[in-house]
Amino acid sequence: MAQNSVVAIANQKGGVGKTTTAINLGAALAMEGHRTILIDLDPQGNASTGLGIGAEQRQKTVYDLLAGPESLTECLIATRVSNLSIVPATPDLSSADVDLAQTKDRTRLLHRKLEEAPDGSIILIDCPPALGLLTLNAMVAADGVLVPLQAEFYALEGLSQLLTTVRHVRQSGNPNLRVNGVLLTMSDYRNNLSQQVEADARATLGDLVFPTVIPRNVRVSEAPSFAQPVLLYDPQSKGSAAYRQFAGEFAARLKLVKEEA
């Protein structure tokens, strides 16, 4: 039986392409026939909005999943991409760090709930821009961490802090946690700086950096306001092509197997 793959998409910097990657990697994998679940773990709820889940649909949220008796299945909402469902987030998630501070096993809350995911699921967790309790829950629940890096100055700064957190999670209860890889995002090929950042990242991190680089593409930034992944909004765009290619590399790296229907 195919195992589940749980991937935390994390970087404590905001605006580096975590949510965009969660939505479009999720859509690309789902379109390839993988049963894919996106967990929106950011109080801003951008992944939920970007996939067209309106506030009125967010009855059961990731906050209930963490803090309440709700099961994963009860919190899942189908999206317009078949095979892709999401657990949405609402702003009340922003108090989770404080609300859950006294809870027993508070870093394992998500892990427990994800254990009931159907076999063969790919679960992508869109982390908030911080290394707090929410991201810790994601890393404790995950098999791997995918790190989007924006191809700009200072991109590599902060990475060591992230890797320290990964090591800490490994030592404190999730020994098998890996870094799946680093994805360069929002690269501008006309800009020498982007090329310099890419060269630096590859020199420092080697094969950890995925071959595909996501270009800065206006269709990618427009898609969320149409409540769609760019793969639906403009399948022919450069952004869509890059995310499809990246999804292929990602599936190969994780040795993802498709569940027989």
Nearer to ligand ADP, 106 or 210 (CB): 210
Minimum CB–partner distance for residue 116 and ligand ADP (Å): 27
For residue 47, give the amino acid letter.
A
Piece in contact with Mg ion (CB under 5 A), picked from 10-18, 24-32, 66-74, 166-174:
10-18
Site for Mg ion in 13-42 (CB under 5 A): 18-19, 42
Minimum CB–partner distance for residue 44 and ligand ADP (Å): 8
Structure tokens given for 172:
């404190």
User: Whole-angstrom Cα distance, residue 29 to residue 33?
Assistant: 7
Helix and strand tally (H, E) in the chain?
12, 7
Nearer to Mg ion, 71 or 161 (CB): 161
Nearer to Mg ion, 19 or 121 (CB): 19
CA-nearest of 159, 148, 167, 156 to 210 is 148
Nearer to ligand ADP, 153 or 172 (CB): 153
Running DSSP on this structure, what letter comes out for residue 215?
B
Which residue in the block uniquely carries the two structure tokens 């994601």?
138
CA-nearest of 86, 93, 88 to 43 is 93
Choose which of 15, 33, 91, 118 interacts with ligand ADP (CB under 6 A).
15
Backbone angles phi, psi at 21, to 5 degrees: -70, -40
Minimum CB–partner distance for residue 67 and ligand ADP (Å): 23
Site for ligand ADP in 19-48 (CB under 6 A): 19-20, 46
CA-nearest of 138, 137, 139, 158 to 14 is 158
Number of residues engaging Mg ion in binding (CB under 5 A): 4
If one asks whether residue 17 binds ligand ADP (CB under 6 A), the answer comes out as yes
Q: Both ends of the chain: CA-CA distance in Å? A: 13
Binding site for Mg ion (CB under 5 A): 18-19, 42, 46
Binding site for ligand ADP (CB under 6 A): 14-20, 46, 129, 185-186, 214, 216-217, 220-221, 224, 239
